[in-house]
Amino acid sequence: MNTTRGFAGRPRAARPGLPPGQYDAGDDWPVLSAEVTPDLAAADWTFRVSGLVAEPRTWDLAQARRFPASAYEGDIHCVTGWSKFGVRFGGVSLDAFLEAAGPLASATHAVAYAHTGYTANLPLADLTGGRAWIAWEYDGRPLAPEHGGPARLVVPHLYFWKSVKWLAGLELLDGDRPGFWEQNGYHERGNPWEEQRYSGD
């Protein structure tokens, strides 16, 4: 995928709760990835929290499922212009994993990375306080590989490129370090309501 300002596409639909510049995708869920979908079995999935933490920790999927179940029910928004309403992701709140690893006081940001090598940067404040999940279900079924299965990050209040597919880990940092799309012209944070699509927006 290339960075472009020329997102053509479907007519914009007026709907309450739709951020500016977005359209309601309805039942569609477009598949957009910077990389080829990996052949990653659930038995091979792991997630690691490292960097500025008291105790770096790694979990496999069975261990991750032992945390109290949590779900996100709401809307998601893609920088390419589509939004989906009333989605439901099942998994675990990211707070549970961070609490287990113990972020240090100096940690302000994080880089989320995939098993494929894809990365996205996020302020730590956007990942805590019940604002982010590791999800392995969508609408009550296992998350499909093309949508990030076996498990992905879900940060629904930001554009969905921040919700890293095939999530492998989170490195906590004391400053911002741009990820893949951020190095290629996209906004550092990506708030849909402020149309933070590109650097400088």
Q: Mean pLDDT check: name the lowest of 33-47, 77-91, 108-122.
A: 33-47
| Per-residue pLDDT at 34 | 80
Inter-CA distances, 95 with 16, 115, 137, 144, Å: 30, 21, 18, 24
Kindly give the pairing relationship between strand 82-93 and strand 70-77.
Answer: antiparallel
Q: What is the model's pTM?
A: 0.90
Express each pLDDT in 126-172 by its tens digit. 999 999 999 999 999 999 999 999 999 999 999 999 999 999 999 99
Q: How confident is the model at residue 14 (pLDDT cuts 50, 70, 90)?
A: low
Which residues, 6 or more positions from 179, have their beta carbon under 8 angstroms from its beta carbon?
Answer: 111, 112, 118, 119, 120, 121
| Per-residue pLDDT at 63 | 98
Distance CA 121, CA 128 (A): 14
Distance CA 139, CA 151 (A): 14
Is residue 2 over pLDDT 60? Answer: no
| Per-residue pLDDT at 17 | 83
Which residue did the predictor score with more confidence, 81 or 10?
A: 81
Is residue 5 over pLDDT 70? Answer: no
Express each pLDDT in 25-63 by its tens digit. 999 998 888 888 999 999 999 999 999 999 999 999 999
Task: Report the pLDDT averaged over residues 100-105.
Answer: 98
| Per-residue pLDDT at 1 | 37
